Structure 1
């Protein structure tokens, strides 16, 4: 699934940050490096910035997180990194909707023929899918914050984060299939 590629920096961060209490700083560095590699690779293949919203926002987020981590090593920012990450992703998704460029639209352009990009169906499908992702990110940010505040542990945090991705991925696949079967001329995103 193309959308998962955009989450690769976030996944790398999560894996490295989970090693120990100090590894989150290096997880941020690794996420920035991976984000830059993905962007440069995409640009070499003609991918436009609107298809790289996740990667670009990941770089910005992890530059900020990494800078804070190295400048102020005593800060306990990593204790809230799940909440901050999902909150950032929620702002990214809602912001892309607000400016009329749902982040899934650029990703869908990698899979959908160019002649359909301007269709109302293509735009509508991506508005709906992006709204579901934005809502999932928002709910997950709140959930992981609550899990941390109630000290429910890493397992609960991991489950909440997994659900925060599984639900919108499942919805995206279902909605694309449903929309493709409506008999309209433009294919689903």
Structure 2
């Protein structure tokens, strides 16, 4: 899974997060706009058949629900807990993919790896490790969002450092493992 594959896979979330950083006075309008853009990206990717995995479909459902709750209903309770819901969605989807025996990164890795390796223990093991790193990253984001709920006076930059730092580490780990030698793709069993 390359850096750009990750960006594309999480493009609704990347757009959502980046748009929320814009210096706009009307924060509600900004939030609604960011949700609309993210939902449109999900819809476009689904219509074009660009996404087939649990992250894509879960993201689509999350942003559809957010369209209803924030854009349609302006539900204040939902908006106050949006950080928990977004981080929780990503963490739950990632861990669910691992528990199901289909780490979410397999969908993206198969786009870059020859079909002969798809069932190899090394390839599958590598994807469990990468998906696990993302699960840890999203779980850190969830814990961070929960702490923000408990301590709203906590400076926003601290939360961003924690959340972004966990994602940067997951990206670096993914990039490192994706460049691992071909021996990692062996077809015999893999020791943990």
Q: Which category describes the TM-score, using the shorter chain as reference length?
A: 0.7 to 0.9
**What is the match of residue 5 of structure 1?**
8
**How far off its partner does 1:112 sit?**
0.6
Q: Is 1:26 equivalent to 2:26 in the alignment?
A: no
Could you say which residue in structure 1 is the equivalent of 2:177?
175
1:153 CA drift (Å): 2.9
Q: SS of the counterpart of 1:73?
A: coil
Q: Find the partner of 1:155 among 143, 150, 157.
A: 157
Contact 2:144 2:162 in 1 (8 A): yes
In structure 2, the residue corresponding to 1:49 is in which secondary structure? coil
Deviation at 1:177, TM superposition (A): 3.0
TM-score (norm 2): 0.82
Structure 1 pair 49–103 and aligned structure 2 pair: CA distance change class (3 A):
same
- Count of residues in Structure 1 that have an aligned counterpart in Structure 2: 179
Runs of 4 or more, structure 1, over 6 Å off, are: none
Q: Which has the higher contact order (CA 8 A, sep 6+)?
A: 2
Cα RMSD, aligned residues only: 2.1
Q: 1:119 to 1:40 in 2, by over 3 A?
A: same
Q: CA deviation at 1:65?
A: 1.5
Q: Which runs of 5 or more structure 2 residues have no equivalent in the other structure?
A: 188-192
Report if aligned partners of 2:120, 2:185 keep a CA contact under 8 Å in 1.
Answer: no
8 A contact 1:147–1:156 mirrored in 2: no
TM-score for the superposition, normalised by structure 1: 0.83
Query: 3-state SS of the aligned residue for 1:30?
Result: helix
| Counterpart residue number, 1:164 | 166
Q: 1:116, 1:5 → 2: CA distance?
A: 23
Q: Secondary structure at the match of 1:78?
A: helix
Alignment partners' CA distance in 2, 1:68 and 1:153? 27
